[in-house]
A and B are shown apart, each in its own frame.
Chain A
Amino acid sequence: MNIDYSQELPVIERRISLAEIDRLISKPLDEKPDKKFFIALSITGTLLLIGVISISYLFLYGTGVWGLNQPVGWAFDITNFVFWVGIGHAGTLISAILYLLRQKWRTGIARFAEAMTIFAVMCAGIFPIIHMGRPWLAGYLMPYPNQHGLWVNFTSPLVWDVFAVSTYFTVSLVFWYVGLIPDFGLLRDRTASTLKKSIYSIFSLGWRNSHRNWQHYEKAYMLLAGFATPLVLSVHTIVSFDFAVSIIPGWHTTIFPPYFVAGAIFSGFAMVVTVLIFVRKVFDLQHIITLNHLDKMNKIILATSMMVGYAYGMEFFIAWYSGNPSEQFVFINRAFGPYAWAYWIMVTCNVLIPQLFWFKKIRTTIPIMLVIVIFVNVGMWFERFVITVTSLHRDFLPSSWGYFVPSIFDLGTLIGSFGLFFTLVLLFTKTLPVVAMSELKAVAEGAQPSHNGGKH
């Protein structure tokens, strides 16, 4: 093959005019939702309802309805929390890190990935709150001057988590909204409906496309990207501290922060690819979210898969090299003990199956890609399950060993979180532009001044 790597592929396939970008991307917002949309919404709504029922039952009867008990005191709740926070990391990575690295191809998928970040963090935020016996006391997690004269323990990883996740959510939301302001301005100027116009006007804040504003706007975007980059790394690092700062063998490892961050990007990209495959088909965006995009995302999935695989191997190496019998027992038990099935599902889905992405043919074939990324999602959920449950179920005291089996309410809550996520994604596709129009125009062919015939 003869590919010229010095020339970047165009971000948008086939030359389309700027006005056509507007029309194409705001089409789902201009049209009334069709039958297919309502069928999809009813499915995700049903899943969401299952979650609502499970959580109501939990609130009514307490955490005893879950399958967890001594010695496995943390199971689905923390597994789901870490899983969803991880999913969220792809969005910020695409919008911030790829922005700083000047990867133009990110513009087609950034808005969508950012939205998924926000929804995923919302799903994640549910679990720490519902896993407390008395969820209405969640406010105690925030330091505020109270009549007890007490402060939260600022040296506890669980309090760091509260700060990290809430900061992450706020910053992601602000970042997303800042990106949306010019698009709200455009929608306001396009729409014919008075009601829509008032709503868009309110959210556009009176955006005028003025270059005196664009100048500060670009600066702000760069600053936000600069902050979001260490933030995204810090959040999953702190989530990993929940485990790593404890003294349970199998948790107490220094490799956790980078291992968790790589895993988060891995699972997040898999989820973004899963959803984008449908979105580009349903909304006819094949030449804006191109196969080239999916190809590049799959390369990142392959790279992070190998990082995760390295971490799995390194954990075993350190268990042997440390000479610590408890650590060795935990890892042998993890691979060959009662939860060996979960461990090998994890290894197969996360390390072995993504190796298929070495082939360009597979990276650009949608059905195969879809199957692989779904396996990755499954595998990454099992990774968190394996870390949490296998480390706990056989602790130092053999008489208290146990085997965790999820109850129907554990499963219902997990299903419900998927319902919430996909319901929000569906509503998002119909209410907001799924691609950042102003950003996309800026990278379209011929959109930037040629500076007198391309001579810089």
Chain B
Amino acid sequence: MSERKLFGITVLFHTPDEIIHAASKVREAGYKNYDVHTPYPLHGMDAAMNLKPSKLGYITLAFGLFGAAFALLFMYWAMSIDYPMIIGGKPFFALPAFIPITFEVTVLLATLATVISMLAFFFKFPFNSHPLHDTPYMKAVSSDKYGICIEADDVLFDLEKVKALYKELNGQNITEIYSSVVEPFKIFEPKFLTLLTLVALLTSGATYITLNKLLYITPFDWLMNQSRVNVQSKSTFYADGFGMRKPVEGSVARNFIPYEYMGLIAPVVPLSNTLIPSNDILSLGKKRFLTFCSPCHGNYGDGDSRLNNQFPNPPSLHSEKVRGWQDGNIYHVIVNGQNVMPSYASQLSRDERWAVIHYIRVLQKAKNASPSEIIEAKKEILSNVAK
């Protein structure tokens, strides 16, 4: 096995004092590429090996500061710029309320960065193929022995000199460690190719199922899916497949009884008012009048709304013509519309239209009463008060 390359020479010691002494001697002899292996960290070994203090702390500091700055700036951006929203009367940049998360992100990033950089960059882990693995030396130093290994690539390395140094230090089990011959990895080995194929299949299959199936499973959809035909959906019951059906011929929607004179200019036999002008009806009529009629006709039916001079002026309801109309004529205008006035059939139900007409009559009476009528009304009010 001439291909086997010498990695280094190891030696074992039994007590902590011996190894500290040995380590300082090895260092004094000028070796650079050597390592001490102990089952637990030994105090005083840093000084014996003359190691510089670990630089790990700088990484922790850098990532900790980065974490703090990132968290704070991110929250500032999210809560003040991207989607500004006032919550609990706090300012957009609510520093005290941002501190908990800033702290947590700092700790998280600093911790992960410290551990990952220690393992990956300081230790170059994972490294299970190191020549020292699987040797009796490694088994001894991981349990209860203390060992030194001087590596063959040290400039001062000389097999006999190193052995002599170890003997002088009274070391036990002096062993030469050889690197196993590194075989070039055969990529086209069937086993490896099968593994790769399997991994590819598994990954793509899992991705497909996750993205196309799992993501579309609704966990609980009892409210969503009920046994009925939804709007715009297909029916299997009807031959034509339409889920939405036309109403039966002649169906009338509630409160939408058709008006027989629709579209006529003046009905021949106008309808008569179906309601008695009670207090309730008049206040309903007032409400509807103020909502739907007053925007054009004015609050008292004078045609003096603020639309004056912007449209063809809305007519007054106190004109001789309108006062002379039967209730049915006004009803016809409300339902059918007239000139620029549109139909109010869909805004006002039948009863509401009649109530509005009663209210219009009240307005007309109030505006156009004769002096004798006013005296009568006053008398009536006084007699009501006297009662």
Binding site for B on A (CB under 8 A): 17-19, 22, 59-60, 134, 136, 143, 149-151, 153-157, 159-160, 163-164, 167, 170-171, 174-175, 178, 182, 185-186, 189-190, 201-202, 204-220, 223-224, 227, 230-231, 234, 238, 241, 438-439, 441-442, 446-452
Candidate in A156, A208, A213, A230 with the most chain B CB atoms within 10 angstroms:
A208
Q: 13 A-B residue contacts at CB 8 Å?
A: A59-B219, A154-B79, A160-B101, A170-B108, A174-B111, A174-B115, A175-B111, A205-B123, A206-B127, A208-B127, A210-B37, A441-B40, A449-B19
Min C-beta distance of A223 to chain B, whole Å: 5
Q: Which 10 A-B pairs have the closest CB atoms?
A: A18-B144, A206-B127, A155-B97, A442-B40, A219-B54, A205-B125, A211-B36, A214-B41, A151-B78, A160-B100
Contact A217 B118 (CB under 8 A): yes
Docked CA distance A214–B123 (Å): 10
Contacts of A201 in B (CB 8 A): 128
Docked CA distance A442–B146 (Å): 13
Contact A167 B133 (CB under 8 A): no
Of the candidates B36, B40, B79, B104, the one whose C-beta lies within 8 Å of that of A210 is: B36
Contact A167 B60 (CB under 8 A): no
CB proximity to A under 8 Å, residues B120-145:
122-123, 125-130, 132-133, 138-139, 141-144
C-beta contact mask, B93-126 vs A, less than 8 Å → 1, else 0?
0100110110111011011101100110011011
- In the complex, which residue of chain A has the Cβ closest to the Cβ of B128? A206
Q: Does B302 contact A (CB under 8 A)?
A: no
Min C-beta distance of A69 to chain B, whole Å: 21
Docked CA distance A211–B35 (Å): 7
Contacts of B104 in A (CB 8 A): 160, 163-164, 167, 231, 234
Docked CA distance A205–B118 (Å): 12
Asked whether A211 and B111 contact (CB < 8 A) given A190-B143, A449-B43, the answer is no
Asked whether A223 and B114 contact (CB < 8 A) given A154-B79, A234-B104, A438-B39, the answer is yes
Candidate in A17, A186, A189 with the most chain B CB atoms within 10 angstroms:
A189
Contact A205 B127 (CB under 8 A): yes
Min C-beta distance of A15 to chain B, whole Å: 13
Contact B37 A209 (CB under 8 A): yes
Q: Does B83 contact A (CB under 8 A)?
A: yes
Contact A449 B16 (CB under 8 A): yes
- In the complex, which residue of chain B has the Cβ closest to the Cβ of A160? B100
Min C-beta distance of B118 to chain A, whole Å: 5
- In the complex, which residue of chain A has the Cβ closest to the Cβ of B125? A205
Contact B60 A205 (CB under 8 A): no
Q: Does B158 contact A (CB under 8 A)?
A: no
Candidate in B35, B39, B101, B132 with the most chain A CB atoms within 10 angstroms:
B39
Contacts of A449 in B (CB 8 A): 16-17, 19-20, 42-44
Asked whether A211 and B42 contact (CB < 8 A) given A163-B105, A174-B112, A223-B60, the answer is yes
Contacts of A134 in B (CB 8 A): 219-220
Q: Which of B45-53, B328-336, B345-353, B370-378 contacts A (4 or more CB under 8 A)?
A: B45-53
Contacts of A164 in B (CB 8 A): 100, 104
Contact B125 A447 (CB under 8 A): no
Of the candidates B39, B107, B114, the one whose C-beta lies within 8 Å of that of A220 is: B114
Q: Does B156 contact A (CB under 8 A)?
A: no
Docked CA distance A185–B51 (Å): 24
CB proximity to A under 8 Å, residues B36-86:
36-46, 49, 51, 53-54, 56-57, 60, 75, 78-79, 82-83
Contact B38 A209 (CB under 8 A): yes
Of the candidates B45, B101, B111, the one whose C-beta lies within 8 Å of that of A154 is: B101
Contact A189 B139 (CB under 8 A): yes
- In the complex, which residue of chain A has the Cβ closest to the Cβ of B23? A211
Min C-beta distance of B332 to chain A, whole Å: 52
Contact B141 A209 (CB under 8 A): yes
Asked whether A18 and B60 contact (CB < 8 A) given A160-B100, A167-B107, A224-B115, the answer is no
Contacts of A159 in B (CB 8 A): 101
- In the complex, which residue of chain A has the Cβ closest to the Cβ of B44? A449
Min C-beta distance of A446 to chain B, whole Å: 8
Asked whether A441 and B54 contact (CB < 8 A) given A143-B78, A164-B100, the answer is no
Of the candidates B16, B44, B87, B115, the one whose C-beta lies within 8 Å of that of A153 is: B87
Contact A215 B37 (CB under 8 A): no
- In the complex, which residue of chain A has the Cβ closest to the Cβ of B127? A206
- New contact pairs (5) apart from A208-B35, A234-B107, A448-B44, CB-CB < 8 Å: A164-B100, A170-B112, A206-B133, A209-B39, A450-B17
Contact B39 A224 (CB under 8 A): no
Q: Does B88 contact A (CB under 8 A)?
A: yes
Contact A19 B41 (CB under 8 A): no
C-beta contact mask, B298-315 vs A, less than 8 Å → 1, else 0?
000000000000000000
Of the candidates A149, A154, A215, the one whose C-beta lies within 8 Å of that of B54 is: A215
Contact B219 A136 (CB under 8 A): yes
